[in-house]
Structure 1
Amino acid sequence: MSQSSTTLGIAAHTNGVPLIGKTKEFKPPTVEKVTEGVSGGRAIEGTRTKGWKMNPWSFQQEGMTAEIANQMGLGAGDTYSLTFKESILDSDGNKIPYVHEITGEITKRGKDSSKTTDEDVWSLEGFANTYKLTINGTVVDDINIKTQKVIIGGVDQMADHLANIR
């Protein structure tokens, strides 16, 4: 089993086409268990699970074009689809593909800064309605807020609950 791994390439894709330029950094939406304290009638507080949430995703892209910037507008209610492909090299020499598929809304976008001789880098951020992570062909996470599909770590978190109410 590998001891370490390194991302050697990332590319952002929209509508199946790689974006022009270089994807500098990508932060996928993180899945977080939502809990609350339970203390009524207890000497020591316990915790109960309320559900899950997805935190915002973001990425930085060098070489933004006017066409792409206009497509990634901030129109109210506009849903946008992005795919990020990574190539990972582990310490055993394995080349592992990661695929992150996101649909949602872009909430922030703009040029980072303008200085002579600096790279032309734009930062984008948004929230996800759907997120699917596939590593080496295996689905790890698959979340859909509208349908309440919640697969985390390859385990369907809602399957037993839905079976209990059907």
Structure 2
Amino acid sequence: CPPLEKIEMTSRLIRTLRLERTIVFCNTKVMCQRLRDDLVRMGLDADCIHGDIPQQKREKTMRTFKDGKLPILIATDVASRGIDVDDVDCVINYDVPEENEYYIHRIGRTGRARKKGIAVSILGTFPEQAKLAEIAKYSHYAIQPVKFAEDGSLVEEEPPKPKKAPPRRRFR
């Protein structure tokens, strides 16, 4: 979906699933800050951590999130090192990570200590879709496509079927 739809999709996902503690990952500091500003404008309680934010402010934001007083934390991969928070309901990959290993680290923030968690990747462009397919192959995870139904619920889509190669023509 286009960038404006990704913002709306993120907001809708958090509201529809009634998520109490969510981490949203972005690939850049600029996107991290922009998404935070947009979600706050949409009435959601969110804050972000990234490399341009002073360490003291990042630590305060992390404490607030860890204590359950901040429901949405937006972070870059670098700033997320050391995020050790139990009871994270959902990890949202707003941007598909550039490195395959980052995907594993990101989704590992939810579903800890035998609790259930959700990991969602919001795809915008074909390169993001191709990258997620590469990550699925690398990680050996079965990544299930879903979409929003008219009523706002999430519906699993059929995984894409491999295309059959056209029959080979024989030339003599």
TM range (shorter): under 0.3
* Structure number with bigger Rg: 1
TM-score where L is the length of structure 1? 0.24
| TM, length-normalised to structure 2 | 0.24
By relative contact order (CA 8 Å, sep 6+), the higher-ranking structure is: 2
